[in-house]
Amino acid sequence: MAGKRKILIVGGGSAGWLTAAYLAKALGVAERAAIEITVLESPEIGIIGVGEGTFPTIRSTLKFLGIDETQFLRATAATFKQGVRFDDWLHAPEAGRRHRYLHPFEAPFQTDGMNLVPYWLLQEPATRTPFAEAVTIQSQVAAERRAPKRTNESGYGGPLSYAYHFDARKLATLIQERAVALGVQHLRGLLTGVELDPDGAIAHIVSREQGALEADLFVDCTGFRAELIGEALGARFHSVRDHLFTDRALACKVPHERADAPIESVTIATAHEAGWTWDIGLEGARGIGCVYSSAHLSDARAAELLRDYVGHDDFAARSIPFEPGYRPQQWVKNCVAVGLSAGFLEPLESTGVVLIEAAADMIAELFPHSGPVEAPARRFNALMTARYDNIVHFLKLHYCLSRRSEPFWRDNADPSSIPERLRELLGEWRHRPPNRFDFVIDLETFAFFNYQYILYGMEYPTDLSAARGDFPHGGEAEQLFARVRSFGTQAAADLPGHRELVRAINRAAS
């Protein structure tokens, strides 16, 4: 790469525009003439337009891009997300008895000298407070449908960690506007061909409307079509269907029951006989989708489950098939894939946008201003592969601890379907809780405490009884548990209702 560098991003979905905006900001495109970033997208193909849940990292990304939080919330019909509530994952509803647990974003409460987790593990399982409720005030705040912040709190800040639920199409439009303001050029056109040079790198691409387009770095954001990385360069797709069985979603939007109905500030993930259903409260509607394994459930039965969940059939549902997995080589020669062209793992923990953020950040850091591209490509591929593998482990954890009896759930609990590393960790976690040395933090989307919420939400038996003497501060721990309870009550009373905060934000706009 010498002289002026050109980055050509093909695809204008969330991946294309987020990557464009992030690179433009990080590489200072508006201030320097040395780098040019262009997005080519085909309006006739369109974007996938699903993906309503996010992860707290989105706050720093939006802030980095210079987007005002209130402007973002209004433009994307967004609401606040404080975590995911899992209903019926441990066992199916029986005789009116239902199991539920929360995976909140806030880490367990901890003081310098005191970690509450072992003391919770040493309490009597039949009578102790559920894990998330015992260790963080966010549980109570979310259960009472309160917002994670007050109206007067600064943008992207507040007392509790949070992310958002939003309309994915509106997000792509907002980020597009920001990217263009940051100096990104926008071309409309259909990619019809890719020419390779003798080394197998991309020489140029061909667009029906724009002709031949050259670049130093091509970014494939063409979604599941993977026009560059897959079709042209043949980068192998690694399926993880042996571990994660879901491969279809049936998605719809329905209005709230009443205009003033409370809005949940968590994603609700309700398990069904062969997968789960998402339920996301947006500003003007609920996004609902049935995720399932086509090997265990027919499309007709999935449609029935969705109808039963919604309570009527007055909606249009869209079927979205997907193959769970990723490409181990996401950066090949002068082409790097970001978004669905690089891979997709089911939406249970909303990792689609997180992976886009991670990839954009890494491309910006590893961008070969001059010199060869092979070393950054190797590094990128190793880091992204590790990230995907870790997410596979984390998602599998949700399924393999279930005691449900349907074939889908029994197959998920079969040890042969559990990745070896996760099996090893589960063995260790019988005797101690997950800790920060279990994971290489830099590669992680999910930290050890995220694992704790899933493990103990699913009643995993970490047995510390033989080591009871190693935890002599039971009295102090009890006081801290009581403080978490009373802070939770106070926070739920002090924070505004979620619907009220969303309404106040949008009312101020009109």
**Cα–chain center distance at 234:** 27
The answer to whether the CB of 147 falls within 8 A of the CB of 501 is yes
Stretch 200-239: interaction string toward ligand FAD, x if CB under 6 A: ---------------------xxx-x-x------------
What is the nearest approach in angstroms of ligand FAD to the Cβ of residue 165?
Answer: 8
Q: Which stretch binds ligand FAD (CB under 6 A): 44-52, 60-68, 84-92, 231-239?
A: 44-52
**Closest to ligand FAD by CB, 116 or 338:** 338
Distance CA 105, CA 457 (A): 14
Pairing of strands 5-10, 217-220: parallel
> Among residues 4, 25, 81, 333, which one is catalytic?
81
Distance CA 203, CA 216 (A): 9
**161: burial class by Cβ within 10 Å (0-12, 13-18, 19+)?**
middle
The answer to whether the CB of 279 falls within 8 A of the CB of 308 is no
Strands (E), 167-274: 185-188, 191-196, 202-207, 211-213, 217-220, 238-239, 248-254, 267-272
At residue 439, what is the residue type? F
What is the nearest approach in angstroms of ligand FAD to the Cβ of residue 28?
Answer: 24
258: three-class secondary structure by DSSP: coil
Does 389 participate in binding ligand FAD (rule CB under 6 A)?
no
**Closest to ligand FAD by CB, 315 or 494:** 315
At residue 383, what is the residue type? L
**Closest to ligand FAD by CB, 226 or 491:** 226
- Residue in 246, 322, 318, 324 with CA at minimum distance from that of residue 288: 318
> Count of residues binding ligand FAD (CB under 6 A)?
36
Contacts with ligand FAD in 296-355 (CB under 6 A)?
A: 320, 322, 339-340, 347, 350, 352-353
The answer to whether the CB of 297 falls within 8 A of the CB of 273 is yes
What is the nearest approach in angstroms of ligand FAD to the Cβ of residue 299?
Answer: 14
**Closest to ligand FAD by CB, 122 or 190:** 190
**Closest to ligand FAD by CB, 348 or 480:** 348
| Phi, psi for 386 (deg, rounded to 5) | -65, -40
What is the nearest approach in angstroms of ligand FAD to the Cβ of residue 283?
Answer: 16
Examine the residue annotation and report whether 333 is marked as an active-site residue of this protein. no
**Closest to ligand FAD by CB, 320 or 386:** 320
472: three-class secondary structure by DSSP: coil
Does 180 participate in binding ligand FAD (rule CB under 6 A)?
no
Contacts with ligand FAD in 45-64 (CB under 6 A)?
A: 45-48, 50-54
- Residues near ligand FAD (CB under 6 A) are 10-16, 40-42, 45-48, 50-54, 168, 190-191, 221-223, 225, 227, 249, 320, 322, 339-340, 347, 350, 352-353
Active centre residues (catalytic) = 81
